[in-house]
């Protein structure tokens, strides 16, 4: 059983299109995230949701809109795709221990290529 899954694994599309990436976790975690890893391999957080509520929204263009229908799902919708959006997008989930520490579990990534 895959703990954190993402679909699709690969996404090739034209500039200006709208696309969505889906993420599901079966770990029972309360918090989910979206990260972007660019061509230079920098991994940067985009969004974080806790119990379906947005708690982090880094400086991400408003063309990116996360949607969390329930605690187990966090989807990412991207409008008007641009060349610079080409990257690998990782979903992750976590649960905090009583001591405040947490471990994040990452999905396999979605490789987005905008032409």
Partner 1 sequence: LAKTTQPISMDSYEGQEVNITCSHNNIATNDYITWYQQFPSQGPRFIIQGYKTKVTNEVASLFIPADRKSSTLSLPRVSLSDTAVYYCLVVNPGAGSYQLTFGKGTKLSVIP
Give the number of C-alpha atoms closer than 13 A to the C-alpha of residue 109, restricted to the C-beta side: 11
C-beta closer to partner 1: residue 86 or 104: 104
C-beta closer to partner 1: residue 14 or 97: 97
What Cα–Cα distance (Å) separates residue 47 from each residue in 11, 14, 22, 75, 94?
Answer: 20, 24, 14, 11, 13
C-beta closer to partner 1: residue 16 or 42: 42
Q: Is 70 left (phi over 0), alpha (psi -120 to 50) or beta?
A: beta
From the CB of 69, what's the least distance to partner 1, in Å?
A: 20
| Order of all β-strands in the sheet with 64-70 | 4-7, 19-25, 73-78, 64-70
From the CB of 80, what's the least distance to partner 1, in Å?
A: 27
Strand, coil or helix: 74: strand
Q: What residue ranges bind partner 1 (CB under 8 A)?
A: 4, 31, 33, 41-45, 48, 50, 55-56, 90, 92, 94, 96, 99-109
From the CB of 78, what's the least distance to partner 1, in Å?
A: 19
From the CB of 82, what's the least distance to partner 1, in Å?
A: 23
C-beta closer to partner 1: residue 110 or 114: 110
């Amino acid at each position: 059983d895959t703990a954190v899954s993402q679909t699709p694994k690969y996404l090739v599309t034209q500039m200006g299109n709208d696309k969505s990436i889906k993420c599901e976790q079966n770990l029972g975690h309360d918090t989910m995230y979206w990260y972007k890893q660019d061509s230079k391999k920098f991994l940067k957080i985009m969004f974080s949701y806790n119990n379906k509520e947005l708690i982090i929204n880094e400086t991400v263009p408003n063309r990116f809109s996360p949607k969390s229908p329930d605690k187990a799902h966090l989807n990412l919708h991207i409008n008007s795709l641009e060349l610079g959006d080409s990257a690998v997008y990782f979903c992750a989930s976590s649960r905090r221990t009583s001591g405040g520490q947490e471990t994040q579990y990452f999905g396999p990534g979605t490789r987005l290529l905008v032409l």
